[in-house]
A and B are shown apart, each in its own frame.
Chain A
């Protein structure tokens, strides 16, 4: 079933794949071979595919963006602005390559933080047992592509009973234009462990490039992970991202996803409940303008009973931007006492802005509590009137309401300085939007 290989982007990528002959371990070679095999069998998604109905990735097909080859060396000053002050553990990847001189590892004695290729055998065998095991690259061409180019990865293992109080910052910096990079993260939370992970995508230029990332979380019994994902790529960039979390008994996964950047961005989040009593809270904020398109697809699989999931996703869409949200909640047979709620709220600021939202419930068990809701609208005139009656000018009233709409999600970020930075971004953007 070889199809759609006339694709320029794929051809170019696969060509460069043949050039590569780096030394890697056997398991990694095998995993990559599987992924390469999958890529050759899968076809590039089109808007005819239900999963990609509103997101046209065909512009990508014409871009001969090879994987980044040369390593750019950067001074710390260049990226200091992105650092999170609370975070003493930081892994920096420049165009997909690990930059040890910019990274800092404070808690490396209590837990394992590092990159895959510099790990010793016993550590990497743990990674081997998880890497590519949680993400379903069998039916997702971008996850398969990422795996096919897998050379290095950020690996974090929080051992049993360890709590890492400082957030761990994974910073992915894009410096080159017209390249593809494939960042990869693996986070393993062993039983009773706790950690906060910040996954951060930033550019040092405003040109076009492709980021195709995969992040895998594996949470053992009673582990807790707070995950903050910040996508502030260049407004010309293509960002494709896939995040998977497997949750064991009593584990807790809290995630906040912030999407500001990218010309076309797509974020897939898969939550898999592997045992009872686990819980997840996933929140998202998309704020886009210009001709941006941001697509968020989440899937929460309640395969086991007594699990809880809560989700709130918000989009603020201006100009000609187009936001897509698809939230699927699957309650499998016998997943009794599932408690699940989902809400998709969308704010349209301009006449040409567009929203496609689809909260989707599939329920096969009867003793469950499931609810979802979706709203699309503009700022409430009565609310604006109320603020004006208190002496605020029209513009300030609108800014305040738009900011407040987004701030509800930002409030859930457990890292104070990052929260402030992002709040400032939203505030600046609302002012930019509305002063014109």
Chain B
């Protein structure tokens, strides 16, 4: 293949810079003292400290899992600092009071916060190194009774809601990294949509990892009451660092009767350089509980960053007639590794799930789809359709598919199909014939390949994702 294309993927990370803000950092290492420190710093109630300690004790007894199809050097959990907060300044009354350094960072990332908030009508709950700095549009949301704030705020102001739902979807001892997160999570988002309310705008948080060598342990909890609906967006970028950073988040969604939660992610953490040095380890547990009748949970993700992506946004379809959806695009390049997919656990009657997964591997990267569709004996007339397609760009990458299908009810209908393809020279030639250079041709082919998933993204995310994919794959076809 042409040398022009060889240069297409190797674009340096555009969002790589470190903002110099004084951080308050806890000493490295993890023990009960650290946990008590985090809890005390955040002024948490006793039950939450107990929750953390319970998770920590379970974590101690657990071993790191090794079944996944990714390789990384052993993580020393005592070498990580578990708490980093920008130094508290006086309470902010308006946007003008936000640290100008911070604002400049967001500008570099192309997120003019106030503009975005005003023009796009999106409330951005900005997370900067584990502590929520500012929250916009809160009042507007409060009018209809929606609570949208950082989880630490929610712990202070709505402890009963947090206590009721925290850890119900992802129990503290669910897995090694979820237990770690439950023990040391510092911040994240909390969202509560009351009965019958349709959220008037897309909610979004903006995640960034900033302080070097501080793992981020986000905790997100979204609750949609009966008949409520919400679309939640999560986007991430991170500065360029050499040392690996661990990101072990937990996201819990609860949908009650007739509720509808749509969770979209664009993930672009720093992926390491072309030799595979540095980059984020993104080990995330995301799970939604479709608890009520006719509830619906939909995951859409565009995974382009991180040295290692390892996550399975899942749906537990407990309510009758509930619906689970998973739309995913995972792009890996250079030495990136991705092991991602979903779990659809059908428990209620007439439950339906759809899985569309598109994996694109380039360079020396490896991407895996690992999915589970389980139909339990109680799930009468369950229906699943899965499709996972892989595209290989270059002959040194790998694409893998591990679909588990477990059916214990004969009224179920489960279909799975997978295919593998590549960008053919004849396709590029066809584009060249029509005067389209190979760079643009690759971008068009890839975007066509991922169209089904991009259609699921909210408008502005779809635009961003399309751009992201193009520059991710620049120089990959050679």
Residues of A within 8 A of B (CB): 50, 333-334, 336, 346, 348-378
Q: Which residue of A lies closest to B374 (CB)?
A: A356
Task: Evaluate whether A348 and B407 lie within 8 angstroms (CB atoms) in the complex, with A363-B390, A371-B420 already known.
Answer: yes
B395, chain A: closest CB distance, angstroms: 5
| Interface 9-residue window, one of B165-173, B184-192, B285-293, B396-404 | B396-404
> Does B67 lie at the interface of the complex (its beta carbon under 8 Å from any beta carbon of A)?
yes
A-B contact pairs, 19 of them (CB 8 A): A50-B67, A334-B395, A336-B395, A346-B407, A353-B410, A356-B405, A356-B406, A358-B402, A361-B399, A363-B392, A363-B400, A365-B395, A366-B394, A373-B418, A374-B403, A374-B417, A375-B416, A377-B412, A378-B411
A308, chain B: closest CB distance, angstroms: 15
CA distance A111 to B417 in the complex (A): 44
A358 touches B395 (CB 8 A): no
A371 touches B417 (CB 8 A): yes
Known: A373-B417, A373-B418, A374-B414. 6 other contacts (CB 8 A): A336-B395, A360-B402, A361-B401, A376-B414, A378-B410, A378-B411
Task: Evaluate whether A369 and B420 lie within 8 angstroms (CB atoms) in the complex, with A50-B67, A351-B377, A355-B407 already known.
Answer: yes
B394 touches A376 (CB 8 A): no
Contact of B410 among A348, A367, A368 (CB under 8 A): A348
CA distance A38 to B415 in the complex (A): 41
A411, chain B: closest CB distance, angstroms: 24
A357 touches B400 (CB 8 A): no
CB neighbours (8 Å) of A362 from chain B are: 398, 400-401
> Does B230 lie at the interface of the complex (its beta carbon under 8 Å from any beta carbon of A)?
no
CA distance A363 to B368 in the complex (A): 10
CB neighbours (8 Å) of A336 from chain B are: 395
Contact of B404 among A346, A350, A358 (CB under 8 A): A358
A354 touches B408 (CB 8 A): yes
Task: List residues of B (358-412) whose CB comes within 8 Å of A's CBs.
Answer: 375, 377, 390, 392-412
The 7 closest A-B pairs by CB, nearest first: A348-B410, A366-B392, A361-B401, A376-B414, A373-B417, A374-B416, A370-B420
Residues of B within 8 A of A (CB): 67, 375, 377, 390, 392-422
CA distance A355 to B292 in the complex (A): 27
CA distance A375 to B403 in the complex (A): 12
CA distance A50 to B390 in the complex (A): 24
CB neighbours (8 Å) of A364 from chain B are: 397-398
CB neighbours (8 Å) of A370 from chain B are: 419-420
B395 touches A359 (CB 8 A): no
CB neighbours (8 Å) of A367 from chain B are: 395, 422
CB neighbours (8 Å) of A371 from chain B are: 417-420
B166, chain A: closest CB distance, angstroms: 31
Task: Evaluate whether A357 and B419 lie within 8 angstroms (CB atoms) in the complex, with A333-B396, A350-B410 already known.
Answer: no
CB neighbours (8 Å) of A377 from chain B are: 412-414
CB neighbours (8 Å) of B413 from chain A are: 375-378
Interface of chain A: mostly helix, strand, loop or mixed: strand
B39, chain A: closest CB distance, angstroms: 36
CA distance A375 to B418 in the complex (A): 12
B351, chain A: closest CB distance, angstroms: 15
CA distance A75 to B409 in the complex (A): 46
CA distance A366 to B392 in the complex (A): 5
Number of A-B contacts (CB under 8 A): 108
CA distance A190 to B400 in the complex (A): 35
CA distance A227 to B392 in the complex (A): 35
B371, chain A: closest CB distance, angstroms: 10
A399, chain B: closest CB distance, angstroms: 17
A363 touches B420 (CB 8 A): yes
Q: Which residue of B lies closest to A380 (CB)?
A: B413
Most buried by A among B402, B403, B413, B415: B403
CB neighbours (8 Å) of A366 from chain B are: 392-395, 397, 422
B422 touches A355 (CB 8 A): no
A356 touches B404 (CB 8 A): yes
CB neighbours (8 Å) of B392 from chain A are: 363, 365-366, 368
CB neighbours (8 Å) of A360 from chain B are: 400-403
B414 touches A375 (CB 8 A): yes
CA distance A353 to B397 in the complex (A): 40
CB neighbours (8 Å) of B399 from chain A are: 361, 363
Most buried by A among B390, B396, B399: B399
CA distance A356 to B422 in the complex (A): 30
Q: Which residue of A lies closest to B410 (CB)?
A: A348
CB neighbours (8 Å) of A361 from chain B are: 390, 399-401, 418, 420
A363 touches B407 (CB 8 A): no
CB neighbours (8 Å) of B409 from chain A are: 348, 351
B372, chain A: closest CB distance, angstroms: 9
Most buried by A among B394, B396, B407: B407
CB neighbours (8 Å) of A378 from chain B are: 410-411, 413
B399, chain A: closest CB distance, angstroms: 5
A351 touches B410 (CB 8 A): yes
CA distance A136 to B356 in the complex (A): 37
Contact of B403 among A350, A351, A354, A358 (CB under 8 A): A358
CB neighbours (8 Å) of A374 from chain B are: 403, 405, 414-417
CA distance A217 to B139 in the complex (A): 74
A359 touches B416 (CB 8 A): yes
CB neighbours (8 Å) of B418 from chain A are: 359, 361, 371-373
Q: Which residue of A lies closest to B398 (CB)?
A: A364
A357 touches B405 (CB 8 A): yes
CA distance A373 to B400 in the complex (A): 14
CB neighbours (8 Å) of B411 from chain A are: 351, 378
CA distance A374 to B408 in the complex (A): 15
CB neighbours (8 Å) of B419 from chain A are: 370-371
Contact of A358 among B405, B410, B415 (CB under 8 A): B405
CB neighbours (8 Å) of B420 from chain A are: 361, 363, 368-371
Task: Evaluate whether A349 and B395 lie within 8 angstroms (CB atoms) in the complex, with A358-B402, A358-B404, A366-B422 already known.
Answer: no
B415 touches A375 (CB 8 A): yes
A372 touches B417 (CB 8 A): yes
CA distance A351 to B412 in the complex (A): 10
A355 touches B401 (CB 8 A): no
A349, chain B: closest CB distance, angstroms: 7
A361, chain B: closest CB distance, angstroms: 4
CA distance A391 to B108 in the complex (A): 74
CB neighbours (8 Å) of B67 from chain A are: 50
CB neighbours (8 Å) of A351 from chain B are: 377, 409-411
Task: Evaluate whether A359 and B410 lie within 8 angstroms (CB atoms) in the complex, with A366-B393, A371-B419 already known.
Answer: no
CB neighbours (8 Å) of B403 from chain A are: 358-360, 374
Q: Which residue of B lies closest to A340 (CB)?
A: B420
A32, chain B: closest CB distance, angstroms: 34
B19, chain A: closest CB distance, angstroms: 39
B341, chain A: closest CB distance, angstroms: 12
CB neighbours (8 Å) of B375 from chain A are: 376
CA distance A351 to B376 in the complex (A): 11
CA distance A368 to B395 in the complex (A): 10
CB neighbours (8 Å) of B416 from chain A are: 359, 373-375
B115, chain A: closest CB distance, angstroms: 42
CA distance A210 to B412 in the complex (A): 34
A177, chain B: closest CB distance, angstroms: 32
A376 touches B412 (CB 8 A): yes
Q: Which residue of B lies closest to A375 (CB)?
A: B415
Q: Which residue of A lies closest to B362 (CB)?
A: A366
A376 touches B395 (CB 8 A): no
CA distance A358 to B377 in the complex (A): 19
CA distance A50 to B66 in the complex (A): 12
CB neighbours (8 Å) of A346 from chain B are: 407
B144, chain A: closest CB distance, angstroms: 43
Most buried by B among A346, A349, A355, A366: A366
CB neighbours (8 Å) of A355 from chain B are: 405-407
A62, chain B: closest CB distance, angstroms: 26
CA distance A375 to B397 in the complex (A): 29
